[in-house]
Structure 1
Amino acid sequence: MTEQAPRIDPDFRPLPIPQPESFRYEERDRVGVITLDRPDRYNALTFAVYRELTDLFSVIDRRSLDPDGARALVIRGEGKAFCSGGDVEDIITRLFDRDMEALLRFTRMTGELIHAIRRCKTPVVASVKKVAAGAGAVISLACDLRVMGRKSFFAFLFPQVGLSGADMGASWLLPRVVGLGHASELLLLGDRVYAERCAEIGLANRVIDDEDPAKVDEAAFELALAIARKPHFATRMTKTMLQQEQDMGFGDAIEAEAQAQAICMQHPDFKEANDAWLAKRDPNWK
């Protein structure tokens, strides 16, 4: 149910991070930064972006116990926007000629990305500038925290183009973030929801003045950096439990948390926190 405290293998070799061609990835101060890099298209998604993003999150999850690996992630868009959804030319117009089997392969592929983000035990912060629409809105929704520019908006616009608002896991995730009533409104109407309203209903964790869009990215990075400086095994366990307990009854959740906490108590970070407090120094997380 929960992960065990790791045993350090002296022969451990971390998995290499794949070098994506459709976006950028770098690590700074133990924070991995994913940059969607099509600013002229408001960072619209292509088939390649979907596939490579899914692969990247899967690898980051598997190497998250690498002593030198990223401890938190930021996903952002190059330029003024976060992500405007699927690219009309690269994806949307190419779907009209597909049969049911081919369409299902595509919709399952998009869902795999959201599943990979949620399954990844490394916490993810979305930096939402200007627009997070369609698939871009769901990608941000799948992240653990969202920082929004004051003039930015979400748009779960699927109903406005003749599609179900229940796409890529949105109808599972959104009620758990904002409640069923707000989720119903957002997914049935598909209207723009601006940052202040997002903050009111719990969709935005931070709202930042965005006359300079770079300030939003900076705030998202600082939030991820604050997470990265926490004991990583504990943050991994926290995200794991937040995800797993969504499908549990209360009694099962209490038992799962008892097991998770007992496992954390076996990890050297638990004793290190106490030793650092007694010595009046900063802890040295393992």
Structure 2
Amino acid sequence: MILTGAGRGFCAGTDLKEMSEFTKDPRVTRNTWLLQKHMANIIELMRHIPQPVIAAVNGPAAGGGASFAMAADIRIASTNAKFINAQINVGMSGADMGSSFMLPRLIGVSKAAELIYTGRPVLADEGERIGLFNKVVAPEELMDTALEYAKILLGKSEMGLLLTKECLNAAMDGSSLDAQLHIENRSQTLCAAVGSFGNNASNFTNKDDKK
């Protein structure tokens, strides 16, 4: 699955004018809670759908848009990309839509704290250097690069990808080594049981024989 933005930006997050009107409603507490739960649910869905999610970050990813990028499994950015964990800049908490969970795991606690507290923008080259983006390419190469990654993943077994994503999610949740080994052992057993290993191993061996 490839996630990208329409137009010049990846996702600018909440409409600030609309949010300003939203906060004037006497039911603001209830409405904000429901909105947050709805948006947070999208992040959970991205992490738990069986397919790896590739974010093709074509421009600014701000606020909730930054959270969508963080929730992806792989992030490819164009040189026009800009990452801004912007909520702290408009009077809200800098921790939003999973950012306080995802960002420290992607770039480390110290750097994540800097970006969450300051709300400063991160351009594409810095994002690649600190591990936020897997790869940075020219704007005209962005979708082709994302599709190349997708093509590689499509060549893997469906069961293998699903269980690998489950293992990575468990590790991110703070699983112990013992628990992680148990999950991995289960995954390999299931792949062997459903024939995923046999089919793909045969294809892999045939490729080597042709070289």
CA contact 2:56–2:142 (8 Å) conserved in 1 = yes
Aligned counterpart, 2:179: 252
Distance 1:193 1:277 in 2: 40
Q: 1:224 aligns with which of 147, 150, 154?
A: 150
Is 1:178–2:107 an aligned residue pair?
yes
Aligned counterpart, 1:241: 167
Structure 1 unaligned residues grouped into runs of 5+: 1-72
* CA displacement, residues 46-82 of structure 1 (integer Å, 9 cap, x when unaligned): xxxxxxxxxxxxxxxxxxxxxxxxxxx0011112221
CA contact 1:86–1:92 (8 Å) conserved in 2 = no
Q: 2:32 aligns with which of 86, 94, 103?
A: 103
Distance 2:207 2:146 in 1: 28
Distance 1:187 1:202 in 2: 16
Distance 2:93 2:157 in 1: 40
Normalised to the residue count of structure 1, the TM-score between the two structures is 0.68
Aligned counterpart, 1:199: 128
1:143-162 alignment, distance < 5 Å: 143-162=72-91
CA contact 1:127–1:147 (8 Å) conserved in 2 = yes
Give the 3-state SS of the residue equivalent to 2:145 in structure 1. helix
1:61-72 alignment, distance < 5 Å: none
* CA displacement, residues 137-163 of structure 1 (integer Å, 9 cap, x when unaligned): 000110101110113110001111011
CA contact 1:152–1:195 (8 Å) conserved in 2 = yes
1:90 offset after TM fit, Å?
4.2
* CA displacement, residues 212-258 of structure 1 (integer Å, 9 cap, x when unaligned): 4xx21222222122212211110111111100222311211112111
Matched length: 206
Distance 2:143 2:53 in 1: 13
Identity of aligned residues (%): 29
Distance 2:145 2:23 in 1: 37
Q: Which amino acid aligns with 2:178?
A: G
Q: Which moved more, 1:118-127 or 1:241-250?
A: 241-250
1:106 offset after TM fit, Å?
1.1
Is 1:88–2:88 an aligned residue pair?
no
Q: Structure 1 residues 275, 225: CA separation in 2 closer, same or farther (over 3 Å shift)?
A: closer
Is 1:76–2:11 an aligned residue pair?
no
1:274 offset after TM fit, Å?
3.2
1:87 offset after TM fit, Å?
2.0
Is 1:169–2:98 an aligned residue pair?
yes
1:267 offset after TM fit, Å?
2.3
Q: Which moved more, 1:103-112 or 1:133-142?
A: 103-112
CA contact 2:55–2:69 (8 Å) conserved in 1 = yes
CA contact 1:151–1:195 (8 Å) conserved in 2 = yes
